[in-house]
Amino acid sequence: MAKIKYTPMERYCKEYLRYLAIAKTARRSYAESVRLLEEKGFKPIDSFKTLKPGDKVYRGYLDRTVMAAVIGKKPIAEAGLKVVGGHTDAPRLDLKPKPLYEKGPYVYFDCHIYGGIKKYHWLVRPLALYGTIVKKNGEKVNVEVGDKPDDPIFMISDILPHLGYDQAKKTRDEFYPAEDLDVIAWTTPKPPKKKKGDEDEGDDAPKPDKGALVEFLKKTYGVDEQDLLSAELEVVPAGMPRECGFDRALIAGYGHDDRVCSFAGLKALLDAADEIPDQTASILMCDKEDVGSMGATGIQSSFFENTVAEMIERQEKNARDIMVRRALEKSSMLSADVTATADPHFAEQDSTGNGAVFHKGPAASKYTGGTSKSGSSDCEPEFVAKIRKIMDEGGVTWQMAELGKMEKGGGGTIAQYMSRFGMAVLDMGTPLWNMHAPCELASKFDCWQTYCAYSAYLRAK
């Protein structure tokens, strides 16, 4: 078995493994990212009346989305800024607003799919429950169950193969209805009714005991069933990220897409934070990408431009909206999002010579989208050439790739929503196997070189 030599790559991957184990949800990713930023001396933007070169600033929103920056020598209104932008949400199952229901003699959590994982991937695997319950008085109660050694786990059942002949005849999307992706929450039945003499007081069949589960929640978390109406509870795969293969060259874990890139951007900014850049260097870690980047914390919200406006207002005496617009047009971004590694088992899906390969570094994608580049920003070649120069001068190992053959599917990233500002945007992120699955695979070398790529970009003159 290969022994770990603590090279810079291994040290970086050790930090990433720790982060990935903590950041099971966007809220937890946010909290850990803010902790690391503040540890490095970054302060909330509201604590600055003015911003000067070298200031380390961040702005968070709703405990999910954060932007951080090291202020450059050139004013943002004049020079714009560099951005490494990714997302921290991942496919999961959300508990519905009224999640507790009885079926047969058991009690289940009623769930709603968030993001794209094949439905059968959720079945018969250990699951954990994370989230926040907010009471009417504003008190927040955190829930974290399923990953500690003594925790119970949760599960969604499936039929045994001996009785699954009818199921086997159905298509992948038909054989397990989405509405049945419900988590086993409580199986202990109600105590049987007492009998008087030989006369039976009632039915002996086991009855579900939702009341016992509600009482458990009250004793354990101090919440009642109505408090679940204002809860954000997420079902995610249980278990910690692990090294994969005898050579330990891969990392297996939930949520690589897209915490592998977001963490690389965060780490790159943290490590460059004591240098004053010419152009303001920044990162953006957002939410909701897996459901279309909508909502107040998605990249289609006004959070990014509002944050840039807040920074310009602290640099310019007579800040105006047009300054924000001009600054955005002068800005550039690496869209920090993963792509697919070509899988030899599915070679028919890959565009010959254009698929990403493990251990060749992060993959730059000039465009994403479907057959006709639908949902793509299609980066201009001038910016691609600039990034090529930065990567080569920084000694970064990287590759150019597409996401499979044109008529086999496709996908998009946040690049399309950022390029609307007139920014130059190029997708560049870590290639994965098992993308959008409960356990994804990434190459350690590619994780490391993704960090190196973002570092080179943020530090380039």
Do strands 127-134 and 250-253 pair parallel, antiparallel, or not at all (unpaired)?
A: unpaired
Q: Which two tokens stand for residue 235?
A: 């079902």
Domains of the chain, residue spans: 8-90+254-459, 92-237
What is the average per-residue pLDDT within 186-211? 77
Helix axes 256-271, 8-22, angle to 10 degrees: 120
Q: Which two tokens stand for residue 400?
A: 């150019």
CATH number of this structure's domain 8-90+254-459, picked from the four choices 3.40.50.2300, 3.40.630.10, 3.30.420.40, 3.40.640.10: 3.40.630.10
Confidence of residue 368 (pLDDT cuts 50, 70, 90): confident
pLDDT at 195 > cutoff 80? no
What is the average per-residue pLDDT within 6-33? 96
Q: For residue range 120-168, list pLDDT tens digits in order.
A: 999 999 999 999 999 999 999 999 999 999 999 999 999 999 999 998 8
What pLDDT score was predicted for residue 172? Answer: 86
The DSSP secondary-structure symbol of 159 reads: -
Confidence of residue 202 (pLDDT cuts 50, 70, 90): low
Q: 145-149, 294-298, 402-406, 408-412 — which one is most confidently predicted on average? A: 145-149
Which superfamily does CATH assign the domain made up of 92-237 to?
Aminopeptidase i, Domain 2 (2.30.250.10)
Confidence of residue 346 (pLDDT cuts 50, 70, 90): confident
What pLDDT score was predicted for residue 3? Answer: 59
What is the average per-residue pLDDT within 379-393? 96
Sign of the dihedral defined by the CA atoms of residues 24, 26, 32, 37, in that order: positive
Distance, CA of 312 to CA of 321 (rounded, Å): 10
Do 426 and 364 touch, CB atoms closer than 8 A? yes
Kindly state the percentage of the chain with pLDDT values over 90.
79
Distance, CA of 212 to CA of 201 (rounded, Å): 21
- The whole-model pTM stands at 0.94
What is the average per-residue pLDDT within 37-43? 98
Peptide bond into 258 cis (omega under 30): yes
